[in-house]
Structure 1
């Protein structure tokens, strides 16, 4: 690999520090999920969104509790995918290589993670309310639909990073061709 295609030492050091910081954040997020009962907090926020007459008809069966806790876990841990993707990008760039297939995969993975997180955040409130009220009587079921600007922005950021990953693929191919001529 040519020296000009490597990142400067200072940038590599920053990437190394950020990789370890991202991994520390990942460990703290997983610990916080279990220590702070994040699943119940997520369920409480869905519960608060229900109208009082709908709440009265909600009953919790074992299957419903499992479904709701699985949905809450998916919502929470989809955020950890972004942290894993960021750590992966930093890990690749700490090696100093920019135009390599590993860098392309890492950037695309991060873009896909952000896009998937936003998609999950878009549909999760609807699924939580449906999970709470699917077995309620007629007139006491609820359906919630909502789109906020943060979710739309995250969808766009994920899409932009995916496009940057595609551009990086082209740049990597060009760099590889140039190495063949030298």
Structure 2
């Protein structure tokens, strides 16, 4: 019998090989999706700050002040830059997720690179969660300076989404740290073989 035919048949019957193949395919899709979402988030944020009416921007910033009739390009750009700080951290985390899924797609499931990329993802999510309320407070000050009443307002929004994001990021970071240690131990053991 042809050895390659035997291997091909065994591969189709091997549940572990089937699962690994599924992980590789799904990981490839997730790597692509991570990049696509990162790009789309940046574009969506730019469009939001370019096209959203002043009244909606004030409402979303938690300001009960009367908005100006229009917000100039310079202020919209400044607000976009501030809003991109937490979103930038999230985009960096998505790129770390892409690297992690790329390792999985290449079959390096328990590699140190995959675990470190997973930890980078978790740290990026945590940074975004911590920076979001700070950026929101800065945005409220920026936008309130445009109010026709010339009143400044500071809106600080801390919600359950921030707490849940931090909890999620902490759990994933700890799991990734354990995987990094496991990969390092496995690499040390491979040196002795």
Q: 1:61 to 1:42 in 2, by over 3 A?
A: closer
Q: 1:18 maps to what in 2? A: 30
**CA RMSD after TM alignment:** 3.3
Tell me if structure 2 keeps the 8 A contact 1:13–1:94: yes
**Structure 1 residues 176 and 78: CA distance shift in structure 2, 3 A:** closer
Residue 175 (structure 1) aligns with: 186
Quick one: structure 1 residues 103 and 179, their matched pair in 2 at CA, closer, same or farther if it must change by over 3 Å?
same
Q: Choose 1 or 2 for highest CA Rg.
A: 2
What does residue range 76-95 of structure 1 map to in structure 2 within 5 Å?
A: 76-95=87-106
CA deviations on 1:130-151 (whole Å, 9 max, x unpaired) are 1223587998211112211111
Report if aligned partners of 1:107, 1:162 keep a CA contact under 8 Å in 2.
yes
Partner of 2:114: 103
The alpha-carbon distance between structure 1 residues 161 and 43, as it changes in their structure 2 partners (threshold 3 A), is farther
Contact 2:45–2:80 (CA<8 Å) still a contact in 1?
no
**2:41 alignment partner, one of 20, 23, 29:** 29
Alignment size in residue pairs: 173
TM-score when normalising by structure 1: 0.76
Change (3 A) 1:127 1:9: same
Mark the CA change 1:28 to 1:129 in structure 2 (over 3 Å): closer, same or farther: closer
Task: Verify: 1:163 aligned to 2:178, yes or no.
Answer: no
Report how far residue 14 of structure 1 moved.
1.6
* 1:111-132, Cα deviation, whole Å (9 max, x unpaired): 1111111112222211101122
Distance across 1 between alignment mates of 2:125 and 2:53? 20
Residue in 1 that maps onto 2:64: 51
Contact kept, 8 Å, 2:49 with 2:76, in 1: the verdict is no
Contact 1:22 1:84 in 2 (8 A): yes
Which of the pair has the greater relative contact order for Cα pairs under 8 Å at 6+ separation? Answer: 1
Q: Which runs of 5+ in 1 are unaligned?
A: none
Do the aligned partners of 1:39 and 1:72 also contact (CA within 8 Å) in 2? no
Tell me the residue number matched to 2:127. Answer: 116
Assess, with a 3 A threshold, how the Cα gap between structure 1 residues 105 and 43 changes in structure 2: closer, same or farther.
farther
3-state SS of paired residue (1:52) = coil
2:115 is paired with a residue of what secondary structure?
helix
Match for residue 144 of structure 2? Answer: 133
**Secondary structure of the corresponding residue to residue 97 of structure 1:** coil
Q: Does the 8 A contact of 2:63 with 2:155 survive in 1?
A: no
